[in-house]
């Protein structure tokens, strides 16, 4: 009996040792291996539950229902000259002996009495604008005003009833990763809604321009015909006007861009109240901080805008902003690059005050700046915007007098190469201010050529003729 008990004890002890060894050496090794395997896998291809994103509380149907009836189909009947394309085809007064072409885009109703915001390029050159609502009612529209620089236009219909409209949201407080809907009429397909997220903010697509653009970037599908349509948040608020896509094929490949709603609203309000855009300026020229700037100036920060020049008489000069100051915030809006600054200032008017947080000699300072007016004139016949030139600019370009070529109004024009130069004469008349340019351009005969004398940034005097 004792032998049996001893044998049973030894068997039990052996089983316990075997089980313990398995737990210690085999099962623990297996767990460690899986953990290492998961760690190695996640360092290359992070994997999450693919259905997690769709289990959120976001209700796309509510936002779509709020907005789909307030986005319209805009048709533009324009007349263009026959024959080879030329600079003149970009402008509506080159219509003689032409043929009618019809373009289409989208628009957003912003008031119940029929004001509609769209893109300037949707209605540019139109001899007739037609708007079709989601209920198939059609109206003739009147152009109230437009801004080629921001690519925003305001048109108006006279409806026989109050229209559904989309209220403006605050684009400054949108966030990267936030869900959005794009509503429009791509490829003449009415009332199309696509969903995506905000991929980036303050995106600049015009690297040649001294005044960067500031777009909201989204991956919501946007195609030709969506131009002028709505980018809305999940509350059904307008946070952008869909404007452009980046694609070698001309169709959507994952990148689309919208004018922020705060900028669009300000432009629309300016047009309604003043008849044109009231552009306020901080009064600086600056550059985004990058690797080269950090190295050249031995900076301790990697983001912000470094002031390169301060405009005499501007709000920036009066507030004491200096060269090499680094602007970090304006009214609690983070300024990481120049497009952030431009995007925010473009939503303000002359006379508005902003609080600028900057770094100077390693110390943080805050100054209040009153924005001043940018005195410019748009020479539509040449596709140029000009501004008053400072005495320092005239001296640097070796020009006796003139106005600065501020930017181009239409992409792809040969006049783009003139940006930054000084125009000193137009049709034999000297110009010293934008008012001179305005008087000369308004009094000229449109059929006559335009002859300008200008100085390049290298100080070279040149002459150019527009026929």
Catalytic (active-site) positions: 121, 151, 227
Closest of 385, 408, 387, 404 to residue 396, by C-alpha: 404
Rounded distance between C-alpha atoms, residue 464 and residue 467, angstroms: 10
Residue 11, H or E segment: helix 2-21
User: What tokens appear for 218 in the block?
Assistant: 């989204």
Could you tell me if 258 and 215 are in contact, meaning their C-beta atoms sit under 8 angstroms apart? Answer: yes
User: What tokens appear for 134 in the block?
Assistant: 């989601």
As a 3-state breakdown, the chain gives helix, strand, coil percent values, each rounded to 5, of 25, 35, 40
372 φ/ψ angles, rounded to the nearest 5 degrees: -110, 170
List Cβ neighbours of 304 (8 Å cut-off, separation of 6 or more). 288, 289, 326, 327, 328, 335, 336, 359
List Cβ neighbours of 450 (8 Å cut-off, separation of 6 or more). 381, 382, 426, 427, 444, 465, 466
């Amino acid at each position: 009996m004792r032998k049996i008990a001893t044998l049973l004890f030894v068997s039990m002890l052996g089983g316990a040792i075997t089980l313990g060894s398995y737990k210690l050496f085999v099962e623990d090794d297996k767990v460690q291996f899986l953990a290492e395997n998961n760690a190695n896998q996640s360092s290359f291809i992070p994997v999450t539950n693919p259905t997690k994103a769709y289990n959120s509380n976001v209700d796309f149907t509510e936002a779509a229902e709020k907005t789909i009836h307030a986005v319209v189909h805009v048709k533009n009947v324009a007349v263009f000259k026959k024959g080879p394309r030329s600079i003149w085809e970009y402008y509506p007064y080159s219509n003689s002996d032409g043929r009618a072409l019809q373009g289409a885009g989208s628009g957003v109703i912003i008031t119940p009495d029929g004001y509609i915001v769209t893109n300037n390029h949707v209605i540019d050159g139109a001899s007739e604008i037609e708007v079709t609502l989601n209920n198939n009612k059609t109206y003739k529209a009147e152009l109230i005003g437009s801004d080629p620089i921001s690519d925003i236009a305001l048109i108006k219909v006279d409806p026989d009833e109050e229209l559904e409209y989309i209220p403006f949201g605050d684009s400054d407080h949108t966030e990267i990763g936030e869900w959005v809907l794009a509503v429009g009429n791509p490829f003449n397909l009415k009332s199309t809604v696509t969903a995506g997220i905000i991929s980036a903010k303050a995106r600049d697509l015009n690297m040649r321009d001294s005044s960067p653009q500031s777009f909201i970037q989204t991956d919501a599908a946007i195609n030709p015909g969506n131009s002028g349509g709505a980018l809305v948040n999940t509350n059904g608020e307008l946070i952008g006007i869909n404007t452009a896509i980046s694609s070698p094929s001309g169709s959507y490949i994952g990148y689309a861009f919208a004018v922020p709603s705060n900028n669009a609203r300000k432009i629309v309000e300016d047009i309604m109240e003043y008849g044109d855009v009231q552009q306020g300026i901080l009064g600086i020229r600056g550059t985004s901080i990058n690797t080269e700037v950090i190295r050249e100036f031995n900076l301790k920060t990697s983001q912000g805008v470094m002031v390169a020049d301060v405009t005499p008489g501007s709000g920036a000069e009066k507030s004491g902003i200096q060269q090499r100051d680094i602007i970090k915030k304006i009214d609690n809006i983070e300024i990481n690059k120049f497009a952030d600054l431009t995007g925010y200032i473009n939503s303000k008017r002359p006379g508005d005050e902003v609080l600028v947080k900057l770094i100077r000699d390693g110390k943080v300072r805050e100054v209040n700046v009153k924005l001043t007016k940018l005195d410019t004139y748009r020479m539509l016949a040449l596709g140029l915007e000009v501004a008053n030139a400072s005495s320092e600019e005239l001296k640097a370009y070796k020009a006796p007098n003139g106005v600065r070529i501020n930017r181009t109004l239409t992409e792809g024009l040969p006049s783009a190469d003139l940006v930054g130069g000084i125009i000193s004469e137009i049709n034999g008349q000297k110009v010293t201010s934008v008012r001179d340019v305005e008087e000369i351009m308004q009094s000229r005969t449109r059929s006559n050529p335009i002859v300008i004398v200008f100085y390049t940034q290298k100080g070279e005097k040149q002459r150019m003729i527009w026929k």
